[in-house]
Structure formats: structure tokens, C-alpha cells
Amino acid sequence: MKTDPNSRRNFVRFLAASPLFASAGIDQPTLTRLFSGTPRDQSEAFGLVDELTAQDPTLIANAADALDVFDFEPVAKKKIPPAHWGYLITGTDDDATIKANRDGYQKWALRPRRLVDVSKLDTSVDLLGHKYDTPIVLCPLGSQRAFNSEGELAVARAAKAKNHLQVLSTVATTSIEDVIAARGAPVWWQLYATGDWNQTRAMIKRAEAAGAPAIVFTVDLLGGSNRETMFREGLLDTRNCVQCHAGGRPAPGVSGRVDDRDNRRKPALAVPAPGTPIPEVGTPTWDYVKRIKDTTSMKVFVKGLLTPEDAELAIQHGASGMFVSNHGGRADNSLRGTIECLPDIAKQVKGRAIVELDGGIRRGTDIFKAMALGATAVGIGRPYIWGLGSFGQEGVEAVLAILRRELEIVMRQAGTTSLKQITPAYVLPRNA
């Protein structure tokens, strides 16, 4: 979740010039270093802003005031409780893979073409027979009522207004039935496997009955996750949240595994499935994908793949597609940005399956680069939650509108009038 110095425009300069910051001994290099560092560094920087600027005029007051998606981040930071903010921004270990996700896009440069008629653009994409206005997918992100009282419903209404694909998390704080009703169309459903196949199978059948056309089996948290930033931020939260968390301490997503969570506010998990438990023996392997396929008529996707070898195995086991993803840097600390993994995977897949890319996308140029390197669609997570936490549905809509506008600008500048025209010919390694 590295912030782009250019996107901040005069934000850091303004703060550094403030008499309050000067009197506190906080200079521009310090702020720049923090805002350009890990999520933990950025959280420290926003903490300084909170302490020294109660009413900072550089914080946007309305969603319409935002010039880029980064403008929502400090507003969301002020409004979201500390433990919930920690859950959102955390990576694993020292958060270095979050930074790698953002840095990866800087390793690719654009090759714009000129004198092309770009008066008409087509940014639409077809996914499983449904046409969406852009390739931007709202990725599954749990516990959205932790960021806004309407949570997933506000996101669903924004997705409806802007015609985007929404993928709902297993640990959503709103039922899939209610989300589909708010969306006015089917959403895809993400699956975290539980330690009881009877429970997992019941969740799959519920999503199918609700009308979800696809299930997104997420595989990158099967070993858990060391979320240090989340725990550090949680220590700042003194609320007693016994209605939401066992013991009263706000600690969402402690390990990343659904079996270790307090799931009272998670409709997919709150009520145990009827029937005899079927305990899993070991953790899922590739045979699990076939088990899911044999259980449902939904298309099956595998989320969390980073190598061409696993992409090939996914196809061999019947997956309709894959999400090239490292869970936004909160799964393993690979130090590889997902955009760095994409070219080899796209080369292996050769159009045989849908390839979604997520992780670190903050700009229209990021989307363009991902499409050029072989993505069918791209996903965002934290940016739309910044919008949600800042201004609810209106904030989510604004984030989507900004990213679409930026994508359209770079498409015109590059001389590409449709997503299919965005090919590897339009990018090259920066050192080439």
C-alpha cells in the first residue's frame, strides 16, 4: 500500500510547512519517508497528522473533492477505529510485500502510440457471459461493516451504479442473499475452506442457491498469516467490543483462518450447517478443486496463484480461471509484486482461462499495465474500502469513477480504443 509521492501533490509539502509540524520538529523528509514506506510507516505518518491537525484543510470533505484514490486514505484513517484500520492495512511480517506490489508497477514503462482516432473508447469486459463497464473487480474483503455501518450493502449498490463485478467474502458481515438483492445482479462468492467439509459444502450450496455464477476458492491463507501491523494497531484500540469479538478485544481476522475467528457477525459461518461433521484430514490439495467442482454447477476459480506451474495445475483440475494474487501482501511475504508474476502466468495460460490480477492497483496506468501483460480483469481491495470508510456508497462510487477516468486517459494516450488492443507491445521493462 505504498503511497505515490506524485499523487499526494502538495499534501506532504503543506504539512511540512505547517507551523504545528515545524514546532514539533517534523520536517518534510521525515513525512516523505513515512508516507513512502510500509503501511506501518504510513500509519505513523497519519497518526502525526491526527495529533497535530484536528481540522486539516488538505483532507477532502466530500467524495467529489477527490482527485485520486489516495485522497480517501487519510479520511478513512480518521474515521475507522484503530483495530479495524489495522485489519485493513496489515500485511504479513514487516509488510514488505505490500510495498513490493506497488513497486512492481514502476518496473514497467509505457509505449504510447500517436495519431490514432481515440474519440470512442470501449472499456468493457465480458466475464462468464456478463458484460461489465470496466475490467475493475471489487475483490472480496471481509468484515466491511467494520469500516461503515452499511458495509457490503453500500459496496453492492456502488457496484450496481457503476456496473462492476463484486466478489463477496466468506467472512462478509452481510449475507450473500442480501448483497445480491442490493446489487440487483449475481455476485461471485469467495470460499475459505473450513476444517469441516460438511460446513464448507453447505456454504457452497448456499451461494449456488442464491444465484452466484462463480466460486473463488482462496488458497493463499491455508498456512495462516503473521499480521504484526494489525496487532500493533489493535493495541491502540481501547474499546470494549464484546458484542462483536470474544473477550471484548477488537481483533478481527486474527490468523487469517476462518476456523480461528469469532464468526458471530459473519452470516456464512454464524450458524453451523446441519448434519454430521466431516473433519478434514490435512489441508486442501489440488484434489480439493475437483471436490468443489463435483459439488456445484458454479464455475470454479482459484485465488492466490503466483506461479505458472500452479496456473497450469488449476486448468488441469478444471478451474475456469485464476486470481493472480498475494492477498494484498497479507498472505506470505514473498517480496514479489503480483504484476511481476503475471507475465509468466499469462504466457502459460495462453487464453485458456480467465486471469484476474490484484494487488497494489491504485492508478489507471496500473490497470493498463496489467491488461498489457495478460490480465483479463483487475481487482482492487483497499482503495474501495478507503472510499467506503470515508463516505460510504458515494465514496466507493467515486473511487471507481476515478480509476475508470484514469484508465480512459491512458488508453487514449496509448492509442488503444478497446481492452483487446492493450497488448504487450504497449509496455516494456523500464531498464530495457
For the residues of 132-169, what is the DSSP string, one character each? ESSSEEE---S-GGGTSTTHHHHHHHHHHHHT--BEE-
Domain count, the chain: 1
In 36-166, where do the E strands start and end?
108-110, 125-127, 130-132, 136-138
Instruction: Tell how strand 125-127 and strand 108-110 pair up.
Output: unpaired
Q: Note whether residue 249 is domain-resident.
A: no
What's the pLDDT at 326? 97
| 38, 43, 158, 186, 300 from 225: Cα distances, Å | 17, 20, 30, 31, 24
With CA atoms as reference, report the closest residue to 155 among 427, 428, 387, 420.
387
| Of 84, 164, 245, 327, catalytic | 327
* pLDDT number for residue 432: 65
Provide the domain limits for residue 202: 116-225+258-429
Instruction: List Cβ neighbours of 51 (8 Å cut-off, separation of 6 or more).
Output: none
User: Residue 187: its pLDDT value, please?
Assistant: 98
Does residue 104 lie within any of the structural domains?
no
Alpha carbon distance 42, 237 (integer Å): 18
Say if strands 167-168 and 354-358 run parallel, antiparallel, or are unpaired: unpaired
Of residues 163, 188, 168, the one with CA closest to residue 404: 163
Which residues of the chain fall below pLDDT 70? 1-31, 47-57, 242-257, 259-261, 432
CATH number, residue 293: 3.20.20.70
For residue 49, being part of any structural domain is answered with: no
Residue 83 inside a domain? The answer is: no
Q: Is residue 26 part of a domain?
A: no
**For residue 161, is it within any domain?**
yes
Question: Does residue 140 sit within a domain?
Answer: yes
- The pLDDT, as a whole number, for residue 21 is 53
The answer to whether 84 is a known catalytic residue is no
Q: Whole-model pTM? A: 0.86
15-70 tens-digit pLDDT: 555 545 544 555 566 667 777 777 777 777 776 666 655 556 589 999 999 999 99
Domain membership of residue 363 (yes or no) is yes
**How far apart (Å, rounded) are the C-alpha atoms in residues 357 and 273?**
33
